[in-house]
């Protein structure tokens, strides 16, 4: 199955052209400064709204786009659509940068034109790490991913994706086994993993939602202490919202696209280190 995510190309590492769209000149400058500082040779195209963005896109393609939700002549969702419809523009990341991003995510108001989101409240250091993950992804050697998946075929493919990034994958076929592992580290400074990656639907009495609730409730690990990414093929917005409200840091939608999985995983790991 071909999805827009499958078409996501590698963002140019050499002198990327990045578009920053925000109605506030101050915010455009702040985000632009972060990009210039973090991305060697980056060309920042600052736009106040959709109209200016269309003109910039007509002048040439971009490698990545950040946009606020509220714009003077529309919103970030409409801006994402304009990027997708621009002639000669390949499929590139369109990232919503907003203090309302989490609310939109939980209510599933983002369309497939939006690649990802970033909550402004996390700060500029986190934003720099997030953008760098798309433009110049760097591995975190030895970081441990507690991975729960009962399909041998899916598990093998996903494990290889993560191990290519020098991550250590601790694979469990069921929630019960994963909980037993976490139990051996209860009360210690180290929870036994740096991130949990789990499918929602699993064989056995417990599923991914149960694992998420145990990590957040029983063990008391917060989103920074032990990030949880949930893989799901369920397109039901209410079910997806329930996972986010229960404490999932983010969702990885199936079919899994390697670059997005890696980007989300590495970002959550870096974000945890910033805590």
Residues 183-202 pLDDT 10s: 999 989 999 999 999 999 99
pLDDT of residue 9: 40
Residue-averaged pLDDT of the chain: 87
Angstrom CA distances, 228 to 13, 85, 132, 243, stand at 29, 34, 21, 10
State pLDDT tens for residues 52-99.
Answer: 999 999 999 898 899 999 999 999 999 999 998 888 787 778 899 988
State pLDDT tens for residues 232-248.
Answer: 988 777 888 889 889 99
Statement: residue 230 has pLDDT above 90: yes
> From CA 173, how far away is CA 183, in angstroms rounded?
17
Question: CATH topology for 4-135?
Answer: Rossmann fold (3.40.50)
Angstrom CA distances, 32 to 17, 64, 86, stand at 11, 12, 22
> From CA 60, how far away is CA 15, in angstroms rounded?
14
SS3 call for 231? strand
Write the burial class of residue 27 (CB in 10 Å: 0-12 exposed, 13-18 middle, 19+ buried).
Answer: middle
Q: Which residue has the higher pLDDT, 41 or 8?
A: 41
State pLDDT tens for residues 244-254.
Answer: 889 998 888 88
Statement: residue 139 has pLDDT above 70: yes
When pLDDT is averaged across residues 208-223 and rounded to a whole number, the result is 96
Statement: residue 113 has pLDDT above 90: no
> From CA 144, how far away is CA 134, in angstroms rounded?
21
Statement: residue 7 has pLDDT above 70: no
* Contact by Cβ (8 Å): 95, 65: yes
pLDDT of residue 176: 97
Question: CATH topology for 144-274?
Answer: Rossmann fold (3.40.50)
SS3 call for 141? coil
**Pair type for strands 70-71 and 74-75:** antiparallel
* Contact by Cβ (8 Å): 147, 155: yes
Domain residue extents for the chain: 4-135, 144-274
> From CA 256, how far away is CA 248, in angstroms rounded?
17
User: Can 4-135 and 144-274 be said to share one CATH topology?
Assistant: yes
Where residue 275 falls among pLDDT bands split at 50, 70, 90? low
């Amino acid at each position: 199955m071909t999805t827009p995510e499958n078409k996501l190309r590698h963002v140019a590492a050499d002198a990327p052209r990045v578009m920053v769209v925000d109605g506030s000149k101050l915010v455009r400058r702040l985000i632009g400064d972060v990009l210039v500082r973090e991305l060697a040779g980056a060309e920042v195209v600052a736009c106040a709204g959709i109209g200016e963005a269309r003109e910039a896109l007509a002048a040439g393609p971009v490698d990545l786009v950040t946009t606020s939700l509220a714009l003077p002549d529309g919103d970030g969702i409409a801006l994402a659509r304009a990027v997708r419809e621009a002639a000669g523009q390949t499929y590139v990341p369109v990232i919503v940068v907003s203090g309302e991003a989490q609310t939109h995510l939980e209510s599933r108001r983002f369309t497939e034109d939006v690649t990802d989101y970033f909550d402004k409240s996390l700060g500029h250091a986190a934003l720099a790490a997030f953008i760098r993950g798309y433009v110049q992804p760097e591995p975190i050697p030895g970081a441990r991913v507690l991975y729960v998946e009962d399909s041998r075929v899916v598990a093998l493919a996903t494990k290889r994706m993560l191990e290519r990034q020098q991550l250590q994958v601790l694979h469990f076929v069921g929630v019960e086994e994963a909980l037993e592992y976490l139990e051996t580290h209860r009360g210690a400074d180290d929870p036994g993993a740096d991130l949990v990656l789990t499918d929602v639907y699993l064989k056995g009495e417990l599923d991914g939602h149960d694992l998420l609730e145990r990590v957040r409730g029983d063990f008391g690990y917060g989103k920074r202490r032990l990030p949880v990414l949930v893989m799901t093929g369920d397109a039901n917005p209410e079910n997806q919202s329930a996972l986010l409200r229960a404490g999932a840091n983010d969702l990885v939608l199936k079919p899994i696209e390697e670059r997005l999985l890696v980007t989300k995983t590495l970002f959550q790991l870096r974000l945890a280190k910033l805590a």
